[in-house]
Amino acid sequence: MTVPLTPGPPAAAPADLDGYRARLRAWLESHLEPRTSKHAVSGLDPGREFTPETVTIQRRLQRSLFEAGYAGITWPAEYGGQGLDSAHERVFGEEARRFLLPDFGLAGKTSLGVCAPTMLAHASPEFLRRHIPAMLAGDEIFVEFFSEPEAGSDLAGVRTRAERDSDGRWHLNGSKIWSSGAYYADYGMCLARTDWDAPKHRGLTWFAVPTRARGVTVRRIRQITGDADFCEEFFDDVELTDDDMIGPLNGGWAVTQTMLFYERGGGAGTSGKPKKRRTAIAPDLAALAAEAGRSGDPLACDLITRAHVDDLVRDAFGTRLGALMRASPAAAASLASYGKLAAGTFEPARAALAMRIGGDAALTWTGDGGPGASAAAGLLNGRFMAIAGGTNEMQRNTISERVLGLPREPAFDTRKPFGDVLRGARTWDGRVG
């Protein structure tokens, strides 16, 4: 049974940052476990599972954070947040980094970092009052029901359908894939086609779909790392109502653009929160070189220095990009593609440098893994950001067309009814016109 939500009062007056910091520090020290080196995650831990028991523990931690007034610090108070400013959020980040905060894995990052901000921008007040406080309290975890086997880069081409019956209920049928953490989530934020006679970008609507609703099947997908965070979902006549709708009927593409902005790091890029200055030269790669017995090797030192320069460039780029996004809010969604492309470009290159530095030590290890396991995970996950949330190629398209003003790629299906597009695709002979 869910306990009624009772968030604490705002933890500080807007001008009382010193008092806020002191009260926050005291609360953290008395309620949360300090973070130590034993809590470092190698990144290659296929045994790490979010079981019902571990999720329950994290829900309790999240509720304690919420009830103390430290969840949703800058979110509207009418929806369970604290209504404070970014300075308070920055203080929280500075103090809380020394403690083990509630951790729901990728699903938690999606729930509070992508889904909730998108809802706040588009959902009805009634929807927000029903779901946002529950998300802040850890009672509801949302994931994305977004991509489909036949609609990845072309997200407007989704075929999962929602049809309204004579009683006003919606019936959802179709499938989704690559939903991180869906197996332990409570809801999926689902993009469905609600009008097949409209062009593909105009007949889409978002719904909140309970993962345990009748007709919903969630299956996990084993990844190359051994993890199974990704899931695929199947919907067989799942009943929904208008109360489950997020944003306007057939207005889902605008909601999609907001979601992509947050998914690609736009929210973090516009926060103005300063990055922690790097004081050591690529410490993870230095540790890997030591593990491999190459600390004094000139080639290894050169590669570590190259990675360090790349790290500094990426940090400086992120700071500059954040400033541009804050200065041009209307262009921020398109500018976010630069950050996403940077991640998709830098990460595989850095993973390759780690392999050259570590050699055998980056491929085999004993015990809890250490730097070798982290390097191996970096290699196996190196292409993640080049694909997830929109491929590098899609980011380049967005930058060229929406930022640089270059001509759009030819498209022959954007103005036709989507049903006609699918029918035509079955008989298309390859000729244009």
User: For residue 273, what pLDDT is reported?
Assistant: 55
User: For residue 69, what pLDDT is reported?
Assistant: 95
Is the confidence at residue 394, as pLDDT, over 50?
yes
Tell which CATH classification among 2.40.110.10, 3.30.70.20, 1.10.10.60, 3.30.565.10 matches the domain 144-261: 2.40.110.10
Q: Output the average pLDDT for the chain.
A: 89
pTM metric for this prediction = 0.86
Least confident of 71-85, 257-271, 303-317, 364-378: 257-271
CATH number of 278-403: 1.20.140.10
Q: What is the pLDDT of residues 321-342, one digit of tens each?
A: 989 988 988 888 889 999 999 9
384: CB partners within 8 A, 6+ apart: 347
Strand runs (DSSP E) across 165-280, as ranges?
Answer: 170-177, 187-193, 204-210, 216-220, 231-240, 245-246
Catalytic positions: 263
Q: What is the pLDDT of residues 183-200, one digit of tens each?
A: 999 999 999 999 999 999
Distance CA 319, CA 313 (A): 10
User: For residue 2, what pLDDT is reported?
Assistant: 46
Least confident of 6-20, 47-61, 392-406: 6-20
139, 279 Cβ separation under 8 angstroms: no
> Which of 2-11, 43-52, 142-151 has the largest mean confidence?
142-151
- Average pLDDT for 376-392: 89
Q: What is the pLDDT of residues 282-299, one digit of tens each?
A: 999 999 999 999 999 999
Calculated CA dihedral for residues 142, 143, 146, 148, nearest 10 degrees: -130
Nearest to 33 by CA among 10, 3, 64: 64
- Average pLDDT for 40-64: 81
146, 179 Cβ separation under 8 angstroms: yes
407: CB partners within 8 A, 6+ apart: 401
Q: Are strands 142-145 and 187-193 parallel, antiparallel or unpaired?
A: parallel
Domain-by-domain residue ranges, the chain?
A: 144-261, 278-403
User: For residue 265, what pLDDT is reported?
Assistant: 79
Distance CA 332, CA 339 (A): 11
